[in-house]
């Protein structure tokens, strides 16, 4: 027995974080979200070069495919390898056969020049025909000028922006800082500490596993009138897993809710990357119904078609050698961890 669905969409991913697993622990154990950013992610992203970014994206794309995810909304940062980084990610995903919507997350935490170069990377990539949004790390690491420039560039290019919003308490000023800048095409990741009544437009990207992992709290996305979509925030590309966790987290504060709401969040991904609707995943389980999936662990794809082509079958990708991707990614992880 097998059921089919369109290709799933991971609405918030960081492909650059795939090689973080097994990295050496930071000198001091982080005690809050700000310290997790400073001691883990901002050290890791600063150490990335284009070759590491390539194999990180290859492995991340492969793992997405192995989970039935054919489309990734990626948010990238590599302050010492900005120029060309989005091309590298797009090419890696294309090689594996996964769709990607790229963004370079601009920030002023490495100086105003860094923000400017990040903005230029978004502009260059999108103007060259790349599938992209304008990336912004978060309001709390950007000047008002950078936020305004990013919003203006997004308007000019006719795309949205992809930004972290009020993920931790350190970014509670985000709704004021972003007031008047957002549009319905914006993607607002996390929104854990965003007030229920706020003025921001765009789709809220819920990342339940990441939020638990960082002790930032539960976003309670059902309270918002904005559309809500599901992501992983870089912890793999398995959106079925995100759905199952989103359901039980909602259930943990409202025992009357069913899985249909969390499933509708997974379906919102198709509004962000509509081309994934034409992809086809044949699953190991039938029926692919929210009540079944919520309580069935280990559901996996048997076959994945992207744009009519079989890119995954019999437990393996068809375009790349999974063992080689894992081996090359492990080599790059070793280089990366040595730098840390
Ligand atoms: Zn994120």
- Residue 74 C-alpha to ligand 1 middle, in angstroms? 9
**Strand residue runs (E) in 131-233:** 134-138, 161-165, 187-190, 203-206, 228-230
284: left (phi over 0), alpha (psi -120 to 50) or beta: alpha
Per-residue confidence band for 260, with pLDDT thresholds at 50, 70 and 90? very high
Regarding pTM above 0.75, the answer is yes
- Residue 304 C-alpha to ligand 1 middle, in angstroms? 26
State the pairing for strand pair 228-230/280-283: unpaired
State the pairing for strand pair 301-306/280-283: antiparallel
- Residue 285 C-alpha to ligand 1 middle, in angstroms? 30
> How far apart (Å, rounded) are the C-alpha atoms in residues 260 and 262?
6
- Residue 215 C-alpha to ligand 1 middle, in angstroms? 14
- Residue 231 C-alpha to ligand 1 middle, in angstroms? 9
Given a contact cutoff of 8 angstroms between Cβ atoms, the answer to whether 141 and 150 are in contact is no
Q: What is the pLDDT of residues 62-78, one digit of tens each?
A: 999 999 999 999 999 99
Q: What is the pLDDT of residues 32-89, one digit of tens each?
A: 999 999 999 999 999 999 999 999 999 999 999 999 999 999 999 999 999 999 999 9
Distances from the Cα of 331 to the Cαs of 19, 276, 328, in angstroms? Answer: 10, 32, 5
- Residue 90 C-alpha to ligand 1 middle, in angstroms? 18
- Residue 163 C-alpha to ligand 1 middle, in angstroms? 8
CATH architecture, range 4-339: Alpha-Beta Barrel (3.20)
For the chain, what is the mean pLDDT? 97
- Residue 2 C-alpha to ligand 1 middle, in angstroms? 33
- Residue 233 C-alpha to ligand 1 middle, in angstroms? 4
Q: What is the mean pLDDT of residues 274-287?
A: 97
Helices (H) and strands (E) in the chain, counts: 12, 13
- Residue 234 C-alpha to ligand 1 middle, in angstroms? 7
- Residue 96 C-alpha to ligand 1 middle, in angstroms? 22
pLDDT at 216: 97
Phi and psi, residue 211, nearest 5°? -60, -40
- Residue 235 C-alpha to ligand 1 middle, in angstroms? 10
Q: What is the pLDDT of residues 91-148, one digit of tens each?
A: 999 999 999 999 999 999 999 999 999 999 999 999 999 999 999 999 999 999 999 9
Query: Would you list the domain boundaries of the chain?
Result: 4-339
Q: What is the mean pLDDT of residues 277-305?
A: 97
Q: Among 207, 267, 215, which residue's Cα sits nearest to residue 71?
A: 267
CA geometry: angle at 282 spanning 278 and 288, to 5°? 95
- Residue 325 C-alpha to ligand 1 middle, in angstroms? 24
């Amino acid at each position: 027995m097998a059921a089919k669905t369109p290709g799933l969409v991971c609405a918030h991913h960081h492909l650059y974080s795939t090689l973080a697993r097994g990295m050496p622990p930071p000198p001091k154990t982080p005690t809050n979200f700000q310290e997790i950013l400073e001691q883990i992610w901002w050290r890791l992203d600063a150490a990335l070069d284009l070759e590491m970014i390539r194999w990180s994206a290859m492995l991340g794309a492969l793992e997405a495919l192995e989970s039935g995810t054919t489309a990734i909304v990626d948010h990238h940062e590599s302050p010492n390898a900005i120029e060309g980084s989005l091309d590298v990610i797009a090419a890696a995903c294309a090689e594996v056969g996964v769709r990607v919507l790229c963004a370079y997350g601009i920030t002023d935490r490495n100086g105003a020049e860094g923000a400017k170069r990040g903005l230029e990377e978004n502009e260059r990539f999108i103007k060259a025909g790349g599938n992209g949004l304008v990336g912004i790390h978060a309001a709390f690491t950007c000047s008002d000028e950078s936020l305004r420039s990013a919003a203006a560039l997004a308007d000019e290019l006719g795309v949205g922006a992809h930004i972290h919003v009020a993920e931790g308490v350190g970014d509670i000023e985000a709704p004021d800082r972003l007031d008047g800048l957002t549009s319905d095409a914006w993607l607002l990741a996390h929104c854990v500490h965003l007030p229920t009544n706020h003025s921001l437009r765009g789709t809220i990207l819920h990342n339940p596993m990441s939020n638990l992992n960082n002790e930032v709290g539960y976003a309670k996305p059902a309270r918002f009138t904005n559309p809500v979509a599901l992501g992983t925030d870089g912890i793999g590309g398995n959106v079925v897993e995100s759905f199952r966790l989103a359901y039980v987290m909602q259930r943990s504060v409202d025992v009357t809710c069913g899985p249909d709401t969390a499933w509708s969040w997974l379906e919102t991904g198709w509004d962000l990357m509509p081309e994934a609707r034409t992809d086809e995943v044949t699953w190991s389980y039938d029926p692919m119904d929210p009540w079944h999936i919520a309580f069935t662990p280990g559901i996996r794809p048997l076959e994945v078609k992207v744009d009519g082509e079989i890119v995954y079958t019999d437990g393996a990708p068809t375009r790349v050698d999974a063992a080689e991707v894992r081996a090359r990614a492990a080599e790059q992880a070793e280089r990366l961890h040595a730098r840390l």
